[in-house]
Amino acid sequence: MTLKTKLGTRAPKTAIILGSALGDVVSIVEDPLVIPYTDLPGFPVPKISGHAGKLSVGKVGGQEVAVLAGRAHPYESGNAAVMRPVLDQLKEAGIETLILTNAAGSLKTSIGPGSIMLITDHINYAGMNPLIGQHGDENFVPMTNAYDPALRKRFLAAAKSEKIALKQGVYVWFSGPSFETPAEIKMAQVIGGSAVGMSTAPETIMARRLGLNVAGLSVVTNLGAGIKGANPSHEETKREGQKAAAHMKRLLPRVFKDMKK
């Protein structure tokens, strides 16, 4: 039974995918219909701690939203398109806007652990593309304004209203699962990156292929290797991500409240 069938009369137009350590953000969903990923064909069973593997549909800021607690990462299987079945079903169910969140390492001391960074663009350094092997001219997806400018303005306005210091920057996708070396961090700084992570970019590419509008948010959980004070680890990712989740719980409802105006 597909997601569209499971939703019944519920008709969310926006979906949010929660990254590592942000699972508790699902508590912002009012009157949720909760669907385990295991009940949805093609949905991955997350194998990384901090990813619950559940989809909740309900009201956020007065609007109906689908919130996905957890994702599969390309490094788990070597498949850059591992989230394609999920995005296909979201599209089939009527989703028009996708908000992607992740845990990331900062490349700038001005964007320290606990910060939230609005993604303005990304650099695909993973050497993979989720559209490889597909056929048809529609796969030559333009990536100009991949992260929708109008959505970015809404997030900035919402952050201002909530007095949340929302940073902005370029996300660099490394395949992982090992953390980056100091030399790789230095290179990412040189090419214009603001944060590094192991997800999001392939989902953005696939979402744009499907015609979805995309916004991206990185929760900064550590400084990149080689930067003074850096100590990247999965435990730090979870710990610092949970701290930033409190801000995310205020930011997201405000965005949806303001969308109604």
**pLDDT on residue 51:** 55
Spatial contact of 55 and 104, defined as CB atoms under 8 Å apart: no
Q: For residue 115, how many other CB atoms are within 10 A of its CB?
A: 23
Contact 3, 35 (CB under 8 A): yes
Alpha-carbon span 200 to 174, nearest angstrom = 10
Report helix, strand or coil for 196. Answer: strand
| Residues carrying an active site annotation | 20, 51, 73, 75-76, 103, 198-199, 222, 234
pLDDT of the residue at 226: 87
pLDDT at position 234 is 65
Contact of 248 with 22, CB cutoff 8 Å: yes
pLDDT on residue 236: 66
pLDDT of residue 87: 98
DSSP string, 115-153: -EEEEEEEEE-SS--TTTT--SGGGS---TT-S-HHHHH
Look at residue 258 and give its three-state secondary structure: helix
For the chain, domains (ranges, CATH) are 9-259 (3.40.50.1580)
Residue 245 is predicted with a pLDDT of 85
Contact 251, 162 (CB under 8 A): yes
**Running along the chain, 261 residues long, what does each successive block of 10 average in pLDDT?**
92 94 90 94 76 89 95 93 96 97 94 94 96 93 97 97 96 95 96 97 98 97 84 68 85 90 60
